[in-house]
Structure 1
Amino acid sequence: MSDFARMNRRSFLQTAATTAGAATLGSALAACGATSPAGTSGSTVTLKYWDWFVTQAPWVDNEIKLFQQAHPGIKVKKTTQASNTFDNLYALAVKSGNQPDVSMIAQKPNLNIQVDQGWLLPVDKWANSSWRSKFPEGTFHEGSNIFKGKLYSAPLSGTAPWLQLYINNDVFKKAGLVNADGSVMVPKTWDDVTHAAETITKKSGGGTYGLGFGNSSFGLLVWWMHTFILAAGSPGGAYGMDLRTGKYTYATDRNYTDFLNLFKEWKTKGYFYPNSMSLTDEVARAYFERGKFGMTVGGVWNQPEWTQHKFTDYTLTTLIGPETTPKGYFPSMPGGTFVAISAKTKHPDEAWAWMNWIYSPEAGKRWVGMGQDLSVFQQNNDPALVTFKPFAQYVATSKLALAAPDVSVRNPQTSNVLVQGVKPDLGDVMAGYYTGQISNLQGALSDLQGRMQKAQDDAVKQAQSKGFKVSPNDYAFPDWDLTKPYITKPNA
């Protein structure tokens, strides 16, 4: 979820005070290299802006408010689309010539295809070396946010594990899962989670369950796989291949089978809330908040809604493996995207002014201050500056994300390798095994591995047939040590 899975939820109780006046805001924007392109003639330019932010809406709304104060000649008209329909709606808007001036970037088709089809406007005219220098080294590179030498976007958020195991402190305390100092006994291993889930379920007499989730809306079982398997030394997690070999390993890496058997055991022993498969993610979060189960997997996007409900008595952890010492970490890669400008905008300078505002370090500071996520600007991410304890815990997890091999840095032409999705996918296999519809787990994983690998190999061959210089070898990094940051070098 890319990051898209962690950016599509709910609403947040605004905590940041708005104290800056228009003059101060104008100075802050000027410091970012922007000018005020509208308002001198007395006319107002209205920009259409699209996103799929719901939880993060208060931050966006606040930035729009501050931006309009600094730019009285520009009005930003925001439309928030549902994340699962955003791609189709954006494609239809492009087809009808009615796309927004500035927008979060659709996940499909691939960004390079959107560029090739003329959907987006390069921003090199404004994003000069001074502007780019504010971002961390390696942020901008071909195949990520630069295509054919032109820049189109930049990341908003910093790097941290995007999934966590959340613990309801009250449930743990009632079950006696506390340390000598009274703090909750945070699970560190698979066995710890099993012990906690068993204790909660048995001591409550069936009134509370150890674990719970909501799988009906998005198919989120893979979140559990990803959270629990990276530390076991399976770098592909739930979403990718093992980049040490450039192959999918669902059937050949025993960790997948071991975790799925454990996951099924938790279900068989009654540790999961019984109706988890039919719950939505939203309902599951509410049930966790109410103490119907003690542990769930989610992301930092959960926190704003719980804060709004005045539920703050929880703890988070992540990177949970079979052993206390992780054998791998959450992979992170330089680059990234967030918003872009439409190539058809009639107001490019005004659109850039709004885009530039979003990417300012000051907006990033408010992004962190409102508990949304880390900022791409590291100076905004000091846990000591965060007053809300659960969010400070999240900020502190950034050390558990290490730089991983980046195929697009090694060979930017791999952005032209367009892998088709397969069905059933890993989430379907997990659901089938959990519900008993799949009995031969190894056979199902072997079939999945074969189909995923074929889709990858076919995509490489198709790109080669179009003249792109790509190879299966682009995806293999045999010298990668999973416990250390990896610096990807471009092909010579």
Structure 2
Amino acid sequence: MKKKKELKISRRTVMKGALAAGAMMSAGSIPSKLFAGEYNIPDPLKPLPTTGGNMRWIDSGDMKGVFWKKLFPEYAASRGITIEYDGLPWKEINKIVPIAIRNGTVHDVFQLPLGMDPGVAVAEGWVQPWDDYIENIDEWLAAFPSGVYLPGVNQFNGKTYGTCLTANKRTGTCLLYSEKYMSEAGYDPQAGRMTYSEIRDAAKKITKNGNGQYYGWIIGGNQVNRWEDVVHTFGQVGGAHSGRGGFTNRHINFQNGKFQIASDQYMEAVELLLQLKSDGSAFPGVMSMNAPQARALMPQGAAGMIFQGPWCIGVWGRDAPDWKYGIASEPVPDGKEAQPLYIAEGGSNTFWLSANSTMGPFAGDLIRFMGTEQGQIYWAQTVGAADPAVNPDAVAKAGLTGPSAQALSMFAENILVGPNPIVRNKDVGIVAAKSRVPDPSLALVIQGLYTGQLKGVEAQLKDCNQRYEDALDKAVEEARADGANVTRDDWVFPNWDVYSNYGAEKYQEL
């Protein structure tokens, strides 16, 4: 069989290609007519300002960026405005947004930095509610699936501050792999979940086959959230039943209300990452790249496996349509059955309107349209499983096939709705507003263990777990001091069946 041309290039050349790909995505240079198609954009429900203006929008890009680059020019032309779009990696958003808030230059519409609780953004005056800008907002909200809009999550003081166009029933740590490399290593992830030992063995064999030209596994190591995401999800699959979402949900076992960071399952997941490194199976230089750059290296033949999300599907389909890859569920520890993953009720990719924005009428008009069934169909047809549309009827009508359809089916099988303390007690939202992620965070601890700056997995995770417990205790105490009726017991759900969805009737039983 003739070798692919990219297998002969040097690692230096591959790295340059990845950096270039990341820069292109950051610059928002996706052609506006890629996946060409015109949209039927309806007239606004009420007259909009005739003064024009420039609306600035920033988010984490990927397939969202592909869609916006198609829609924004048409929407802007229909409303007599211009739209400036920046699709950037999360690492950049985490830096840019807080600085821009401080100096008054933040985009009109933006996503919050990872790990920041929305209640903090509201309390500190970063954002304003959408209510005055989305016509008939109560009727509009009622059309969304139950649980997408919740007090303390995206609604505060009776107002809607965050808008969600996508569902959160997905994971960002799927096993994505080169079909060729994995087959040559003797594995087929489609035959069933791979175990940790099989992942490790496959990575070794791929690396050996690569003979210095490609490696078993890659990660965007300088994007710190990737470390936590992998360990968190792998830990859940291994049996560390816990919540997802913000600080007041993430890593907490709702059977006892305690953090799971020091669990055996989290430790096993960290050890797997360290073993991939010590085996020599990790692509050299992972600490110098972010997630989009690592993802861009896969079709170039640099690595056999990556743990990322379904957003890769559309990007690879665009950039490397002939590359053969597969998507599968996260691996499971040896000798164990895969356990369900859990989401809190609510959507994802929440958009916030700057408190200082004067483009609210246009932003609200656009968001309102995107929340309609037709807007959701348009979204689903381009974005697919990368960021699934929140309207299930729209997803069904979008006619998705191939890897996108496979990913959505996989998520439906693997993911359940878990308890959400804020649904049980709205005063948990006050705790959320008081919360601060401890420093060093779990993400930084895992990254430090991988680089060798920190030593001792068990000791580090136990210390980290205690920091998180102390931080939540402090936030609860501060909330109570402000009059909140809340205790740590609000995080204990004795009627939680970890193999079933936790629906409204379960809250009524408490």
TM-score (normalised: structure 2): 0.80
Q: CA deviation at 1:436?
A: 4.2
State how 1:326-405 maps to structure 2 within 5 Å.
Answer: 326-335=338-347, 338-346=350-358, 348-371=360-383, 372-382=386-396, 385-387=399-401, 389-399=402-412, 400-405=414-419
Aligned partner (choices 459, 464, 467) of residue 443 of structure 1: 459
Which is worse superposed, 356-365 or 119-128?
A: 119-128
Aligned-partner Cα distance in 2 for 1:205–1:346: 57
Specify the alignment match of 1:299 in structure 2.
309
1:7-63 deviation digits (Å, cap 9, x = unpaired): x9777676543244xxx432xx6xxxx515237xxx442252321243222311222
Q: Which runs of 5+ in 2 are unaligned?
A: 1-24, 245-249
Specify the alignment match of 1:4 in structure 2.
none
Aligned partner (choices 211, 231, 242) of residue 225 of structure 1: 231
| Letter of the 1:411 counterpart | N
Aligned-partner Cα distance in 2 for 1:442–1:467: 38
Aligned-partner Cα distance in 2 for 1:127–1:324: 50
Q: CA deviation at 1:184?
A: 6.3
| Letter of the 1:193 counterpart | I
Specify the alignment match of 2:143 in structure 1.
134
Specify the alignment match of 2:499 in structure 1.
483
Specify the alignment match of 1:248 in structure 2.
259
State how 1:235-274 maps to structure 2 within 5 Å.
Answer: 235-236=241-242, 239-251=250-262, 253-274=263-284
Aligned-partner Cα distance in 1 for 2:299–2:286: 15
SS at structure 1 position matched to 2:251: coil
Q: CA deviation at 1:448?
A: 1.2
| Letter of the 2:47 counterpart | P
Aligned-partner Cα distance in 2 for 1:486–1:115: 28
Aligned-partner Cα distance in 1 for 2:349–2:300: 36
SS at structure 2 position matched to 1:456: helix
The answer to whether 1:214 aligns with 2:234 is no
SS at structure 2 position matched to 1:412: coil
Shift of the 383–430 alpha-carbon distance from structure 1 to 2, 3 Å rule, reads farther
SS at structure 1 position matched to 2:175: strand
Specify the alignment match of 1:121 in structure 2.
129
Q: Which runs of 5+ in 1 are unaligned?
A: 1-7
Instruction: State the percentage of identical aligned residues.
Output: 23
The answer to whether 1:419 aligns with 2:435 is yes
1:253-298 deviation digits (Å, cap 9, x = unpaired): 2212233333333332323224333444344223322223211111
Q: Give the length in aligned residue pairs.
A: 466
Specify the alignment match of 2:10 in structure 1.
none
Aligned-partner Cα distance in 2 for 1:436–1:333: 37
Specify the alignment match of 2:69 in structure 1.
61
Shift of the 442–468 alpha-carbon distance from structure 1 to 2, 3 Å rule, reads same
Aligned-partner Cα distance in 2 for 1:185–1:491: 40
Aligned-partner Cα distance in 2 for 1:440–1:346: 51
State how 1:6-21 maps to structure 2 within 5 Å.
Answer: 16-20=35-39
The answer to whether 1:155 aligns with 2:171 is no
Which is worse superposed, 419-428 or 235-244?
A: 235-244
Specify the alignment match of 2:178 in structure 1.
168
1:414-444 deviation digits (Å, cap 9, x = unpaired): 1221222223332333234334444432222
Specify the alignment match of 1:431 in structure 2.
447
TM-score (normalised: structure 1): 0.83
Which is worse superposed, 359-368 or 330-339?
A: 330-339
1:127-185 deviation digits (Å, cap 9, x = unpaired): 4443223211222221122212222233111222232111111212333435xxxx965
Q: Could you tell me whether the CA contact under 8 Å between 1:216 and 1:278 is conserved in 2? A: yes
SS at structure 2 position matched to 1:357: helix
Specify the alignment match of 2:490 in structure 1.
474
Q: Could you tell me whether the CA contact under 8 Å between 2:369 and 2:375 is conserved in 1? A: yes
Q: Could you tell me whether the CA contact under 8 Å between 1:188 and 1:324 is conserved in 2? A: no
| Letter of the 2:281 counterpart | Y
SS at structure 1 position matched to 2:281: coil
SS at structure 1 position matched to 2:53: strand
Aligned-partner Cα distance in 2 for 1:175–1:113: 48
State how 1:67-146 maps to structure 2 within 5 Å.
Answer: 67-69=75-77, 71-80=78-87, 83-86=90-93, 89-90=96-97, 100-105=107-112, 110-118=117-125, 119-123=127-131, 126-146=135-155
SS at structure 1 position matched to 2:427: helix
Shift of the 408–205 alpha-carbon distance from structure 1 to 2, 3 Å rule, reads same
Q: CA deviation at 1:374?
A: 0.5
Shift of the 287–95 alpha-carbon distance from structure 1 to 2, 3 Å rule, reads closer
Q: CA deviation at 1:411?
A: 1.3
Shift of the 294–25 alpha-carbon distance from structure 1 to 2, 3 Å rule, reads same
Q: Could you tell me whether the CA contact under 8 Å between 1:161 and 1:318 is conserved in 2? A: no
SS at structure 1 position matched to 2:56: strand
Q: CA deviation at 1:353?
A: 1.3
SS at structure 1 position matched to 2:259: coil
